[in-house]
Structure formats: structure tokens, C-alpha cells
Structure 1
């Protein structure tokens, strides 16, 4: 069963300061919450998604496919509350109004001039390019609809990648989208929440949060 953990970090902790400054280090710390020996794609197998919330406190939202092992975190790293999302999934209904929030990495595969298509898929390899502004908004609208969610309002805010050497992480930039929406397909939405949306999930992208909203 999918679990969501709200972890309030202690900014005085040496490990916390290190992780807040470098998303690679943060990802390694959070992988300690899940079992070992999960094969070649451990993050995906563990269902690990996370998002660093903005505000006066340093809060991490962490989603895992199973109960996380919080004892694996450094001592006094933070204070955690974990809940099972089964009741939330059960409550979802088509037409239900919700508030949503997601930090995502909008991208598009642009033609790289590859002359020959892939022998199996028939597709030409494209160069992954980050999207910003109106293009990012359009990307989110498409991905939300494909996830069983019809956005009614949307506010987009650029978000930085924590990176100790200030270098860019691959072809990705982060944008936080939040607003109100209407559920159109509960199966698609459950899958999207469980597995995340878009790329750069190792770096704090893709976790979709939902809350009830007034009609």
C-alpha cells in the first residue's frame, strides 16, 4: 500500500544541511527508507517520490510503495508522520473537485536530426529539452488530462534544483504547478499518484498531491 510521510527537517543537523544543498545527497538519504536489493531500478520499484515544500519550515513529502523505515534516517534528522493513502484512493470519484500540487520537470523530445528511425519503435531519437513558461503550462495541462485530472486553475512557479556545485542536472528544470481541478478518471489518477508524473523523479519531481476542494 502506498504511504505518504511528512518529514519536518531539523535545519541544524549536519546531514540535513548537506541534503538541502545537494539533491543527489538528498536522494541517497531517502533511498535508505526503502529495502535493499530492488534490482536495476530501485527507486521505481520502491515507489519513492518526494517533494521539498516551501515555507518557514523545511518539510519533505515522501511517498513510498510500503511503510518506510524511518529508523534508517540519521538520528534527529527530523520529525515524521506517515499515513496510508488507501482511504484517499477509495474516496476518489469522477467529477470530484480537488486541489492539487506537483513539482514537475516539463520536457519535450525535439528532433536531433537522426536520419533513421528506431528499428523497433519506428521513432526518431529526439533531444530532451526542458520547457518553461507557456510551453510548460501546456505540458502540465496535457499530462494532467492524461492522468484523469481536468485542471480548472493553475499557478506555475519555477523551482531550483538544490545543487552544491550549482551545475544543471541533465536537461531538466523544475516548475511547481498548483490549483483546482476536477477528477475525470479515478483509475488513471490513482496510477499517476502512485507512479508520479514526468521525468527527474530522482531529483524531487513528479509527486502529485491531492486534497478535497469545495465545488
Structure 2
């Protein structure tokens, strides 16, 4: 079971970074450039590619995960400060009863079943978003113990018409089913996985 997590502290002096940050479709293409070009149809799924933008006072950080060793030389010169980690050992170490810290930026949403908006996917906010994450965490093998919720900037595409609301969930949880957790980490959770949603990160709580 192999997977790699790349962390890039983006250099906002670089035009390439700013162009990618303005358009999530361009950012998706940048992340996909890290895996081989010959993956065929459903390349993101075959490569196990997920990503997330973390925002902090020190600037944006791009996290990109793949099941194929990433080709970091394909990043533009000066794109950012890069660190890579093999998370295979972490995946293997997960076991029921383990207490972990988690973070996920997800597209908490639902498809409307009735009314004028029937068939449309709408974002969930407030307690509805919290309830969504509780349900998703439960089916992903996590028993949530603490939770903080933070709305994030929406993923907006300018090359193509893309818009996904994003909510960040942080906290602690206890693993109830390690196989379900591993699947959630490797495949992501919820909608919008091609555009910066659904990447779940865990770390053992010390």
C-alpha cells in the first residue's frame, strides 16, 4: 500500500503560482502534471490524485497526494518550497482504537430531491455541514471526538465553469475500522475531488 504526500509552500512572487491560485482548473492541471501522462481515461482516479489548499498567515500551502511517485521536476522553477513524504507506513500502522488528529477540506453538499431545485447539488452550511461530516466520518471508520468547522474560499474555475463550496473540518477521532479509514485516505471523501476537495489527512495524537 503506497502513497505519497507532497507539501508545497507556494511562492507568491511566481506568476505560475498566482495563475494557479486564481483558477482551480489550472491548479488541477498543475497537480496532475506530477503523475505520468499515460494513465488514460480517469487518470486522477487511477493515479490516486487528491489535493488541498491550506490557508494560513504565512501564505497558501498546496498538499498533493498520489499513489504513484510524483515527478517533482515537472513543477516550474521557484514554484515553492517542496517536501515529500511516503505515507505508506502511516497507512499500515492504522488500527482500531487509535486516536488521531484529522483535517479535511470537503464539499459538504447534497442533491435536492424535490421542489424547483430538484436534481441540483446545493452546499450545506452550519449544522447541516457538521451533520454531513459526522455521517461521512462514521462511514469512513472514524468516531469523531472533537470538531471545528471553518468555511474556506470556494474552488472556482475560470477556464471552465467550476464552482465548489469548501468547508474545512479539523479535530480528533478514534479509528473504528482501519480498512475504511485507509480507503477514505486513498480515494477521498465527497464531491469535487478533482478540484481540491476530499483529501483526508490523519496523524496519531500524541
State the TM-score, normalizing by the size of structure 1.
Answer: 0.88
Change (3 A) 1:8 1:105: same
Equivalences for residues 78-93 of structure 1 within 5 A:
78-93=80-95
Aligned to 1:119: none
Q: 2:64 aligns with which of 62, 65, 70?
A: 62
Match of 2:16 in 1: 15
Change (3 A) 1:168 1:100: farther
- What's 2:27 paired with? 26
Rate the CA distance shift 1:183–1:164 in 2: closer, same or farther, 3 A.
Answer: closer
Shift of 1:162: 4.9
CA distance in 1: counterparts of 2:174 and 2:82, whole angstroms? 30
Question: Secondary structure at the residue paired with 1:58?
Answer: strand
- Alpha-carbon deviation of 1:37? 2.6
Equivalent position SS for 2:194: helix
Q: Secondary structure at the match of 2:59?
A: coil
- Give the whole-Å Cα distance in 1 for the aligned partners of 2:156 and 2:121: 21
Which digits, 9 at most, give the CA deviation of each residue in 1:4-30, with x for residues without a partner? 011111110010011112111111111
Which residue matches 1:134? 127
Rate the CA distance shift 1:164–1:76 in 2: closer, same or farther, 3 A: same
Residue 154 of structure 1 pairs with residue 147 of structure 2: yes
CA RMSD in angstroms, aligned pairs only: 2.0
Quick check: which has more Rg, 1 or 2?
A: 1
Structure 1: where are the runs of 5+ without partners? 114-124
The unaligned stretches of length 5 or more in structure 2 are none
CA distance in structure 1 between the partners assigned to 2:155 and 2:188 by the alignment: 20
TM-superposition CA deviations, 1:91-145 (whole Å, max 9, x none): 11111111100000011122156xxxxxxxxxxx833222111111000000000
State the match for 2:97 in structure 1.
Answer: 95
Q: Structure 1: how far apart are the matches of 2:46 and 2:125? A: 30
